[in-house]
Amino acid sequence: MTTTTEQVPSSSEEQKPSTARYADRIVLTTYPGQSVVDPIPLTWGAQSPAERGPVLVSRNRNTISRRNAIGAHGGSYAIYNALAVVAGDLPPDFRPDFLNTQPTFDFPTQPAWLDPTKIVAMDPFGHDIVKHYGKYLEQGIDVRPTIAITRASMRVSEISEAVQSGRLPVDGAIVHSEQGDVRVTKVAVEPVWYLPGVAARFGVDEGLLRRALFEHTGGGYPELVTRTDLKVFLPPIGGLTVYIFGPPERVSDEKVKLALRIHDECNGSDVFQSDICTCRPYLAFGIEEAIKEAQNGGSGVVIYFRKEGRALGEVVKYLVYNSRKRGGDTADKYFQRTENVAGVKDMRFQALMPDILHWLGVKKIDRMLSMSNMKHDAIVEQGIPILERVPIPEEMIPADSRVEIDAKIHAGYFTTGDAVTEEDLKNVKGRGWECWEDTTGRFSDPSGKRLFLFA
């Protein structure tokens, strides 16, 4: 009988850098003209994909010297990629097989794709790198897509209710079942920033933008300041998803109507239906109106941006909730509570948002399903007219979210209702924590009877 014993490496061996995974020498940064760099030319705004060149950020052996951009694919998910490598689940030099991954709809090239001032926050050719940059893939260069286009069937409870109540008909093409199943074309987009264009959009110096990005990512991207010849950056942030109802070719057709909802992520409301804000109701309303427009022969689009908590994040958002509820949740202090915790009331900065509209070929918006003055102004400033603005219906506003919506209306949000004065705001108060936790640490019922006092 033969037995074998697996050799378990010592702790010192386990922690030793693996030359099989990475090169012996760690390259912290590079500099223009250095012998170890030979970037493939990348000309933003060139008149064809071939002239523009691929976006390359990979540090794989065959690509690291040819990189022409800064950052990493996948945004914040790049960290999970690193964990998969260190855990041994993913080879560090893995390259995807793109067989059958091509888009389900071939969006026609738009003039904005070739204009370095119109699209600065995404790669207009990032959806079909096999077609545009196949020769580089054949050479072993690690080109990756930053856009994917697919089809799906979706079911949203509010849409199912709209079908059952008769507000939405089952047409067999868009709404294709009595349960409210809806056909949709989806486009996922990772951010790709052309730094001179981003700086111009914000009206700042490119050098200052690079320095700020370097400093406030913990110095994680030194080539922002050492490689000023590299003009493209893939930031470690979330992207966006486009949901198109009806034939995708209608989106860029000026002869048909377009209903559009631009929505910024709110996990608590969108997914778990918290009633402290209007996010889920407005999203559901936007989807329903987009479907109606598509069923009427037009086009409906909902664009979902990953900008949780006004791009402040959920931790900050929850801290603000605590501050609001413990300090008397009135509409006149709504933005002040956020500024006290975050320093600003909003970090979504809609200046880059219209890029996806240019990529889709949107030339006018017939019905804008949004009350946001920032979204409206950013779109109009990019030369896309908005013919009608549609606020959320009053009956869809949760009672506890009046604090939010009235504060926003007073701050400039569009409404077809009455103006909201400063004095009005003082009288708009959110629901307290009477049935949960009050500021003295007591649990009580609405009558005020103390149920429990904790230490």
Q: Which of 67, 227, 261, 348 is catalytic?
A: 348
- Contact at 8 Å (CB) between 453 and 441? yes
Tokens standing for 10?
Answer: 């010592």
Question: Would you call 346 a catalytic residue per the annotation?
Answer: yes
| Coil vs helix vs strand at 281 | helix
DSSP SS3 for 327: coil
Instruction: Single out the residue of 400, 412, 407 nearest to residue 422, CA to CA.
Output: 407
Residue 190 corresponds to which tokens in the numbers above?
A: 């990772």
Pairing outcome for strands 240-245 and 182-189: antiparallel
Identified catalytic residue from 346, 367, 389, 406: 346
Tell the residue number behind the tokens 């240019």, with chain if given.
Answer: 358
Q: Is 309 helix (H, G, I), strand (E, B) or coil?
A: helix
Residue 272 phi, psi dihedral angles, 5° rounding: -100, 0
Distance from first CA to last CA of the chain, Å, rounded? 65
Q: What is the DSSP letter of 222?
A: T
Sheet containing 232-234, strands listed edge to edge, beginning at the edge strand earlier in sequence: 70-71, 232-234, 193-194
**Residue 304, strand partner residues:** 241, 263
Among the residues of 24-165, which ranges form H helices?
49-52, 78-86, 129-138, 157-165
* Residues that are catalytic: 346, 348
